[in-house]
Structure 1
Amino acid sequence: MTSPRSGEPGPGSRSRKIDPADRAQLAESPVSLRRIGALFSPYRPQIAVVTVLIIAASAVSLANPFLVRAVIDKAIPDQDVTLLVWAVIGMLAVTVVGSVLGVVQTWISTTVGQRIMHGLRTRVFAHLQRQSLSFFTRTRGGEIQSRLTNDIGGMQTVVTSTATSIASNVTTVVGTAIAMAVLSWRLSLLSLIVLPPAIWLTRKVARMRREITAQRQRTLADMQTQIEESLSISGIQLGKTLGAGPAMSERFADTSHVLADLEVRSQLSGRWRMATMNIVFAAIPALLYLAAGLPATSGGMTIGTLVAFTGLQAALFRPLMSLLDVGVSVTSSLALFSRIFEYLDLPVEIDDPEHPVHLRREDVAGAVRLADICFRYEGSDRNALDSVSIEVPAGSSLALVGETGSGKTTLASLVARLHDPSMGSVRIDGVDLRSIPLAELSELVGVVSQETYLLHATIRENLRHARPDATDADIEAAARDAQVHELIASLPDGYDTVVGARGHRFSGGEKQRIAIARTLLRDPRVLILDEATSALDNETERAVQAALDTVSRGRTTITIAHRLSTIREADQIVVLDRGRVAERGTHAELVELGGRYAALLARGGGHAGAAAEERAVA
Structure 2
Amino acid sequence: MQPPPSELGRIVRLFRPYRARLALVAALVGLSSLVSLASPFMLRGVLDEALPNGRTGLLTLLAVGMVAVAASTSVFGVLQTYISTAVGQNVMHDLRSEVYARLQRMPLSFFTATRTGEVQSRIANDIGGMQSTVTSTATSLVSNFTTVVASIIAMLALDWRLTVVSLIMLPFFVWISRRVGNERRKITAHRQEKLAGMSAIVEESLSVSGILLGRTMGRSPALIDTFAEESRGLVDLEIRSGMAGRWRQSTIQIVMSAMPAVIYWVAGLTVAAGNPLVSIGTLVAFTTLQSSLLRPMVQLLYTGVEVQSSMALFGRIFEYLDLKPDIEEPRNPLSLPKAMGEVRFEQVGFSYGPGARNVLSDIDITVPAGTSMAVVGETGSGKTTLGYLVARLYDATSGRVTIDGTDVRDLSFADLAGAVGVVSQENYLFHASVADNLRFAKPDATDEQLRAAARAAQIHDHISSLPDGYDTMVGERGYRFSGGEKQRLAVARVILRNPPILVLDEATSALDTRTEREVQAAIDALSQGRTTITIAHRLSTIRDADQIVVLDRGRIVESGTHRQLIESNGRYGDLLARDTTFDTEQELAEVELELLGTPVVFDKA
C-alpha distance 207-458 of structure 1, shift in aligned 2 (>3 A): closer
C-alpha distance 309-298 of structure 1, shift in aligned 2 (>3 A): farther
Could you tell me which of 380, 386, 391 is aligned with 2:366?
A: 391
**Equivalent position of 2:462 in the other structure:** 487
> Which one-letter code corresponds to 2:334 in the other structure?
V
**Equivalent position of 1:100 in the other structure:** 75
**Equivalent position of 1:403 in the other structure:** 378
Alpha-carbon distance between aligned partners in 2 of 1:453 and 1:162, rounded to the nearest angstrom: 42
Alpha-carbon distance between aligned partners in 2 of 1:393 and 1:264, rounded to the nearest angstrom: 66
Alpha-carbon distance between aligned partners in 1 of 2:369 and 2:241, rounded to the nearest angstrom: 76
User: Are 1:514 and 2:489 counterparts?
Assistant: yes
User: Are 1:314 and 2:304 counterparts?
Assistant: no
Alpha-carbon distance between aligned partners in 2 of 1:505 and 1:403, rounded to the nearest angstrom: 33
User: Are 1:51 and 2:26 counterparts?
Assistant: yes
1:540: how far off? 1.9
1:165: how far off? 1.5
**Equivalent position of 2:435 in the other structure:** 460
C-alpha distance 542-298 of structure 1, shift in aligned 2 (>3 A): farther
State whether residues 188 and 312 of structure 2, in contact with CA within 8 Å, keep that contact through their aligned partners in structure 1.
no
**Equivalent position of 1:167 in the other structure:** 142
**Equivalent position of 1:538 in the other structure:** 513
C-alpha distance 216-550 of structure 1, shift in aligned 2 (>3 A): closer
3-state SS of the aligned residue for 2:362?
strand
Residues 450-508 of structure 1, C-alpha deviation per residue, up to 9 Å, x if partnerless?
11111121111111111112111111111111111111111111111111221121111
3-state SS of the aligned residue for 1:118?
helix
Alpha-carbon distance between aligned partners in 2 of 1:114 and 1:266, rounded to the nearest angstrom: 24
State whether residues 371 and 388 of structure 1, in contact with CA within 8 Å, keep that contact through their aligned partners in structure 2.
yes
**Equivalent position of 1:66 in the other structure:** 41
Alpha-carbon distance between aligned partners in 2 of 1:447 and 1:151, rounded to the nearest angstrom: 34
> Which one-letter code corresponds to 1:181 in the other structure?
L
Higher mean C-alpha deviation, range 606-615 or range 563-572: 606-615
C-alpha distance 326-104 of structure 1, shift in aligned 2 (>3 A): closer
3-state SS of the aligned residue for 1:91?
helix
C-alpha distance 500-596 of structure 1, shift in aligned 2 (>3 A): same
Could you tell me which of 276, 283, 304 is aligned with 1:299?
A: 276
**Equivalent position of 2:418 in the other structure:** 443
3-state SS of the aligned residue for 1:521?
helix
**What is the number of residues matched between the two proteins?**
577
Higher mean C-alpha deviation, range 146-155 or range 52-61: 146-155
C-alpha distance 550-209 of structure 1, shift in aligned 2 (>3 A): closer
State whether residues 479 and 514 of structure 1, in contact with CA within 8 Å, keep that contact through their aligned partners in structure 2.
yes
State whether residues 194 and 284 of structure 1, in contact with CA within 8 Å, keep that contact through their aligned partners in structure 2.
no
3-state SS of the aligned residue for 1:52?
helix
Mapping of residues 587-606 of structure 1, within 5 Å: 587-606=562-581
C-alpha RMSD of the superposition: 4.3
Alpha-carbon distance between aligned partners in 1 of 2:245 and 2:416, rounded to the nearest angstrom: 63
**Equivalent position of 1:431 in the other structure:** 406
Could you tell me which of 104, 112, 133 is aligned with 1:129?
A: 104
State whether residues 42 and 62 of structure 2, in contact with CA within 8 Å, keep that contact through their aligned partners in structure 1.
yes
Mapping of residues 11-50 of structure 1, within 5 Å: 26=4, 30-31=6-7, 33=9, 38-50=13-25
Alpha-carbon distance between aligned partners in 1 of 2:182 and 2:97, rounded to the nearest angstrom: 40
Alpha-carbon distance between aligned partners in 1 of 2:77 and 2:142, rounded to the nearest angstrom: 13
State whether residues 291 and 297 of structure 1, in contact with CA within 8 Å, keep that contact through their aligned partners in structure 2.
no
**Equivalent position of 2:59 in the other structure:** 84
Residues 410-455 of structure 1, C-alpha deviation per residue, up to 9 Å, x if partnerless?
1101111212222222222223222322211111110001111111
Alpha-carbon distance between aligned partners in 1 of 2:183 and 2:344, rounded to the nearest angstrom: 68
Could you tell me which of 344, 350, 357 is aligned with 2:334?
A: 357
C-alpha distance 341-209 of structure 1, shift in aligned 2 (>3 A): closer
Query: Scaled by the length of structure 2, what TM-score is found?
Result: 0.82
Alpha-carbon distance between aligned partners in 2 of 1:279 and 1:155, rounded to the nearest angstrom: 29
C-alpha distance 324-256 of structure 1, shift in aligned 2 (>3 A): closer
Query: Any gaps of 5 or more consecutive residues in structure 2?
Result: 205-210, 596-605
Higher mean C-alpha deviation, range 342-351 or range 181-190: 342-351
C-alpha distance 156-474 of structure 1, shift in aligned 2 (>3 A): same
State whether residues 447 and 519 of structure 1, in contact with CA within 8 Å, keep that contact through their aligned partners in structure 2.
yes
Mapping of residues 413-424 of structure 1, within 5 Å: 413-424=388-399
Higher mean C-alpha deviation, range 582-591 or range 326-335: 326-335
Could you tell me which of 58, 66, 84 is aligned with 1:109?
A: 84
1:160: how far off? 3.2
**Equivalent position of 1:283 in the other structure:** 258
Alpha-carbon distance between aligned partners in 2 of 1:268 and 1:436, rounded to the nearest angstrom: 54
**Equivalent position of 2:532 in the other structure:** 557
C-alpha distance 373-63 of structure 1, shift in aligned 2 (>3 A): same
State whether residues 481 and 550 of structure 1, in contact with CA within 8 Å, keep that contact through their aligned partners in structure 2.
yes
Higher mean C-alpha deviation, range 157-166 or range 332-341: 332-341
State whether residues 349 and 398 of structure 2, in contact with CA within 8 Å, keep that contact through their aligned partners in structure 1.
yes
Query: Any gaps of 5 or more consecutive residues in structure 1?
Result: 1-17, 242-247
Residues 115-160 of structure 1, C-alpha deviation per residue, up to 9 Å, x if partnerless?
4443443344334323332333344434443443444445554443
User: Are 1:586 and 2:561 counterparts?
Assistant: yes
Alpha-carbon distance between aligned partners in 2 of 1:38 and 1:206, rounded to the nearest angstrom: 26
State whether residues 531 and 561 of structure 1, in contact with CA within 8 Å, keep that contact through their aligned partners in structure 2.
yes
Higher mean C-alpha deviation, range 310-319 or range 292-301: 292-301
> Which one-letter code corresponds to 1:307 in the other structure?
V
1:80: how far off? 2.8
> Which one-letter code corresponds to 2:485 in the other structure?
E
C-alpha distance 489-434 of structure 1, shift in aligned 2 (>3 A): same
C-alpha distance 136-64 of structure 1, shift in aligned 2 (>3 A): same
Alpha-carbon distance between aligned partners in 1 of 2:468 and 2:375, rounded to the nearest angstrom: 40
1:595: how far off? 2.0
Higher mean C-alpha deviation, range 41-50 or range 206-215: 206-215
> Which one-letter code corresponds to 2:475 in the other structure?
G
**Equivalent position of 1:14 in the other structure:** none
Query: Scaled by the length of structure 1, what TM-score is found?
Result: 0.81
Alpha-carbon distance between aligned partners in 2 of 1:204 and 1:338, rounded to the nearest angstrom: 18
**Equivalent position of 1:7 in the other structure:** none
Alpha-carbon distance between aligned partners in 2 of 1:268 and 1:429, rounded to the nearest angstrom: 64
> Which one-letter code corresponds to 1:312 in the other structure?
L
Alpha-carbon distance between aligned partners in 1 of 2:62 and 2:133, rounded to the nearest angstrom: 38
**Equivalent position of 1:11 in the other structure:** none
C-alpha distance 524-239 of structure 1, shift in aligned 2 (>3 A): closer
C-alpha distance 469-161 of structure 1, shift in aligned 2 (>3 A): same
**Equivalent position of 1:182 in the other structure:** 157
Alpha-carbon distance between aligned partners in 2 of 1:500 and 1:583, rounded to the nearest angstrom: 44
State whether residues 216 and 263 of structure 1, in contact with CA within 8 Å, keep that contact through their aligned partners in structure 2.
no
Alpha-carbon distance between aligned partners in 2 of 1:559 and 1:323, rounded to the nearest angstrom: 65
